[in-house]
Structure 1
Amino acid sequence: MSYKHPIDTTFISEQIGDSPEIIVEMSVVFLEVLREYQQSIKEGINSRDFASILLHAHKIKPSLSMFGLKGILEFVIEIEKAAHLEKDIINVLEFSNKVEAELPLIYHQVEEIIDRNS
């Protein structure tokens, strides 16, 4: 599965307004959170720290939902399950690789949102 749909900022607009400044601010924060998630998951995988993997997978879910990234959210839920229930590094790696493959497009789309609204 490849995530080709544009990011959806409808939820943000409905909840806090359609202000370009707010959209930019939320997008910048989202990029920071997403990069932190990416790094933390890699570190957790490398050290086989399932508690860390679980924590960071859990923490990124609201941000993914806020930006309408349901496909990626499904992968992160699978990472969370594998880390929590099964302590299964194979499934963690499988779904982490799927998320990782989509991140360049997501980063690009968020940067476009920032540029369009700046």
Structure 2
Amino acid sequence: MSDAEQRHAPGKRWSLPARIYLLGAVILAAGWIGGVLIYLLAASDEAGDLAYGPGWKRQYDFQLERIGGKAAVLAAEFSQWFSDLWHGRQLAFTVAILCTGIALLCFFVAREISLAADRDD
């Protein structure tokens, strides 16, 4: 029986690279399905910027810069951007991208383990 047949023969355990590859495929599929569902079910985020009226952002930035300088403004903008990743439709893209990255990492690890095992044989 060849090595490939032994890895996937009925009743036999799957090799570690095959299990990691399968894990990556499941994570990828679940992440994209979850992302699509979140996107379809999330409310539109377009009204969020108008909640305080036009020009409030410029006044806020000006006051923040007077108190804490440019670094405070940049930190506040980064914090706002990062917190926006976890709400509404933006969350769908965040989930899809994170799951894609994790799946790619699983595929890479499975490939490296498989190549290392082939070198040892």
Length-normalised TM-score, structure 1? 0.37
Length-normalised TM-score, structure 2? 0.36
The structure that has the greater radius of gyration is: 2
Higher relative contact order (CA 8 A, sep 6+): 2
